Amino acid sequence: MLSGWQYRVVSTGGVIAATTLALLVANHAITQAFVTGYLPLVRRLDPVVLSGTGLLVALALSVAVVFVCLIPLYKPRPRRALDTIFLAEKRVLTALFALATIGYFNWSYRLPRATLFVTGAILFLVLPAWFLAIRNRPSTRAGRALVVGDDPDRIEQAMKAVDMPVIGYLAPPITVEAGATEPTVMADGGVLQTRIGNVECLGGISRLEQVLIRYNVDTVVLAFENTDRGEFFGVLEVCHQHGVEAKVLREHADSVLLSEETAGDLMTVDLEPWDWQDRLFKRGFDIAFSSVGLLVFGPVLGLIALAIRLDSPGPVFYTQSRTAGLGGTFEVRKFRTMLPDSEAVDPVDDEENDRITRVGRLLRKSHLDELPQLWAIFTGEMSVVGPRAVWTDEEELLERQAVQWRKRWFVKPGLTGLAQINEVSSTDPEGKLRYDLEYIRRQSFWFDLKIVLRQVWLAVTDVYALVRGRDPDADTGDPAE
């Protein structure tokens, strides 16, 4: 079986070579004469043999498009034969549609139709066979597991639950009771100073990537007592990048998204709920939405800033550290709607909050206080749709009220979401969490679009109600700003 880096080199090299050879065969004069003279789908087309610069451009374009479309197959994940074939065929078809679309526009380089047809036919047969030959098969042998954690008892518990050989464990600086002797401090740096049972320490968490490659690890088991955002989700991210399966003990599964596999003491962590193409569409929509919003509401931003200045002393914008995807943090900016330095951790309904200014109450009811977040969406810190970004100081309170709260960290926070359009806020953390997890399970580009249209409609009706002099139901989602 190929190691992680070997699989990446072989798989990517094979795609580049196969695409190049397929195009050269399709571009040959004999091939052109045969397909344009005998094959039903491309008969009566004029044979076109590219040469010189035209051939080089066609090669570069085809290799680039096919290479990008097959990115999911470069991850060294164990796959069954049929899954490998179907995934490769799906990606080849995607690449062919992309090449055909590029050639449709007059300003772009057009690949001759007969050449595209033959190239696609060859790749449709060759690439699935190639990935089938080099794939990492689901092993019937015992794999190789690595335990990563910060607590000796949980590390030992995880070792007992694993049904495959454990090559060792990684941990940050911790204190381990070594029998009757004094506690031994293990530093994060790879220096072996202690063991847990018969399993030796391979160093600190900073060595995770190196250990995964060196020992060809199949599975990483998480055994954290203190789920530090940087360490816990950093481990998950490295596992995802290297195609390594991540598992967690059943009693510690409240903080992670789980796959359908639920048997045994170990639960499999779901690391990639979205396909990369869906992510591409989502990011493209985020950029388009935020760009249009900033342009359309540009003049309004100045008027709101002036109104805030005249209404109460203090800054125009309110800045707050909030939780991002995978447990990170980022600075969110909104128009200030409350008196300066009056934020509080406990969620409070807007109608009962006497800290909100006169202009701030109007901004909240019309949702205009959210406009500065369009810049965070444009820069990629947020998305248009996703769980609401929560104040980091409020996070601990909500975690105590909703034990599975950290599952929301697996997706990027959004300006709106399923909880927001159903008018459920942090004052009801369990209800909000249910909607957020439902969104994570159902998320897709079209589901995002439905949520955005619903949110736009709600915002329009709220503004219309304000114009008519009625008081719309306020968004009660933010305890601080």
Question: What is the pLDDT, as a whole number, of residue 186?
Answer: 47
3-state secondary structure of 329: strand
Tell me which residue of 225, 231, 114, 130 sits closest to 172, measured CA to CA: 231
Question: What is the pLDDT, as a whole number, of residue 189?
Answer: 43
Question: What is the pLDDT, as a whole number, of residue 127?
Answer: 93
Q: Which residue has the tokens 């309170």?
A: 397
β-bridge pairing 184-186 and 199-200? unpaired
Q: In this structure, are residues 148 and 99 in contact, taking their beta carbons and an 8 Å threshold? A: no
Question: What is the pLDDT, as a whole number, of residue 51?
Answer: 87
Delimit the CATH 3.40.50 region(s) of the chain: 145-268
Secondary structure (DSSP) of 234-271: HHHHHHHHTT-EEEEEGGGGGGS-B-S---SSEEEB--
Question: What is the pLDDT, as a whole number, of residue 364?
Answer: 84
Q: In this structure, are residues 181 and 144 in contact, taking their beta carbons and an 8 Å threshold? A: no
Cα pseudo-dihedral 152, 157, 163, 168, rounded to 10: 0
CATH topology of domain 145-268: Rossmann fold (3.40.50)
The DSSP secondary-structure symbol of 405 reads G
pTM: 0.54
Q: What is the mean pLDDT of each run of 10 residues along the chain (481 residues)?
A: 74 93 91 80 76 88 91 74 83 88 65 85 93 69 77 82 84 57 44 65 83 82 69 76 76 58 64 61 89 89 89 85 74 85 56 74 83 89 85 67 60 84 77 76 80 87 76 50 53
- How many C-beta neighbours within 10 Å does residue 203 have? 20
Question: What is the pLDDT, as a whole number, of residue 255?
Answer: 54
Secondary structure (DSSP) of 64-122: HHHHHHTGGGGS-----HHHHHHHHHHHHHHHHHHHHHHHHSTTSPPPPHHHHHHHHHH
